[in-house]
Amino acid sequence: MRCISLLAVLLTVLILGPHAAAAEQQTGSAHDFSFSAIDGEKLNLSDYRGKVVLVVNTASFCGYTPQYDGLQTLWERYRDKGLVVLGVPSNDFGGQEPKSEGEILGFCQGKYGVSFPLTAKMTVRGADAHPFYRWAGQVLGDEARPKWNFHKYLVSADGRLVGWFSTPTKPLSPQVTQAIDAEIASANSSKRPVNKPASGS
């Protein structure tokens, strides 16, 4: 079982290359953080313990906004296998998310059929960034901080940051889906019970 888990980690590193995060370099956990959900309720990342999470800062009036389609497809394809897609609306880049939370939710549901979780509108860069984003930048370095809308962080089932994908990387690109597959495989392998020898053997 340990060999399977190590193989999944190695596969993630090979897929992500320099965008992978080494576990030994990390302090803290994504599960330490919470957001306000778009409906005003509290959204604890610890509630997703045991699931792989793709965290994406989003915007409604961006050239990359059609990535919502791919994110929704990811959610539908993988949610029963252990993936959560989490959208984080932000007005940080180009002022491309100026609407209220209610308007954002209506747009996402009406135009793209979004059913994955969304947070309230957040700041994702600079000194005022949400604590999750400040932590991600500290763990992965400045290169991995969001430079535009639809930047993606991949969080393992145990709360580690395992990689990131820049804005142009499409949600359904092999780079993303293979990394998700590897993390889900790793999470599932850690859940498998150890077979005990039969008594008397």
Residue 113: inside a domain, yes or no? Answer: yes
For 12-66, the pLDDT digits (tens) are 444 454 455 555 556 799 999 999 999 999 999 999 999 999 999 999 999 999 9
Backbone angles phi, psi at 66, to 5 degrees: -60, -10
Alpha-carbon distance of 77 to 187, in angstroms, equals 17
DSSP bridge partners of 155: 53, 161
Helix pair 2-16, 174-191: axis angle to 10 deg? 160
Alpha-carbon distance of 20 to 162, in angstroms, equals 6
For residue 40, give its domain range.
19-171
Alpha-carbon distances of 159 from 43, 155, 162, rounded to whole Å: 15, 6, 9
Residue 82: inside a domain, yes or no? Answer: yes
Residue 176: inside a domain, yes or no? Answer: no
And the tokens for 132?
Answer: 């999750």
Residue 21, pLDDT score:
55
Active site residues: 62
The domain total for the chain is: 1
Alpha-carbon distance of 133 to 120, in angstroms, equals 14
Listed in sequence order, the residues at least 6 apart from 24 whose beta carbon sits closer than 8 Å to its beta carbon are none
CATH number assigned to the domain comprising residue 152: 3.40.30.10
Helix pair 101-112, 67-78: axis angle to 10 deg? 80
For 98-154, the pLDDT digits (tens) are 999 999 999 999 999 999 999 999 999 999 999 999 999 999 999 999 999 999 999
